Amino acid sequence: MPKVFINKPISVNLTTDSADTVHLKPGLQDVSQELADHWFVKAHCQDLSELTDDTAANEVIAQLEQQLASAQSELETAKQSAGEHEQKSAEATAKVTKLEADLASKTKLASDAAASLKKAETESKAKDDRIAALEKELAAAKAKSAPAADKPA
């Protein structure tokens, strides 16, 4: 019986109507020649039937274990990198939140200052108008009193 190494679970339909479906689990499997020759099995499995001794099988196993270790190492590196990016993202989010709060505070201060300035300008205009009115009254009073001062006693 041919041996195949299956990387992930697969289902193989041997007939067109799916009446004869074979489910294969990951690992080293002894399969029928018909199944070993199926195009889907060839595409997704490694044929180990040409291996005649344990040394060759052990070499393949060692290669696969090395590939697995390399993939796991890459995965750990990617996880670590993702963790670092998540930490930087959290720090940036916190900084943005603080800056938004500072901006809101400074915007309120600017708004309050603008309102105070407008109030002061309004009060200043009212006082300027009052001063102008008093100056007119003073000028009118001086004009009235000036002819009386010109009269001889």
- The helix or strand, by DSSP H or E, that contains position 30, with its residue range, turns out to be strand 27-30
Between 73 and 4, the more confident residue is 73
| Residue extents of the structural domains in the chain | 3-74
- In this predicted structure, the answer to whether residue 52 has a pLDDT above a threshold of 60 is no
56-74 confidence digits (pLDDT tens): 777 888 888 899 999 999 9
What pLDDT, on the 0 to 100 scale, is given for residue 89? 96
74-103 confidence digits (pLDDT tens): 999 999 999 999 999 999 999 999 999 999
Averaged pLDDT of the chain: 87
Q: How many CB atoms within 10 Å of residue 35?
A: 19
List residues bridging with 13 in a β-sheet.
21
pTM, two decimals, is: 0.41
Q: Which CA distances in Å does 10 have to 31, 40, 43, 84?
A: 13, 9, 11, 36
d(CA 28, CA 41): 13
d(CA 105, CA 114): 14
d(CA 22, CA 41): 11
d(CA 47, CA 45): 6
What pLDDT, on the 0 to 100 scale, is given for residue 58? 79
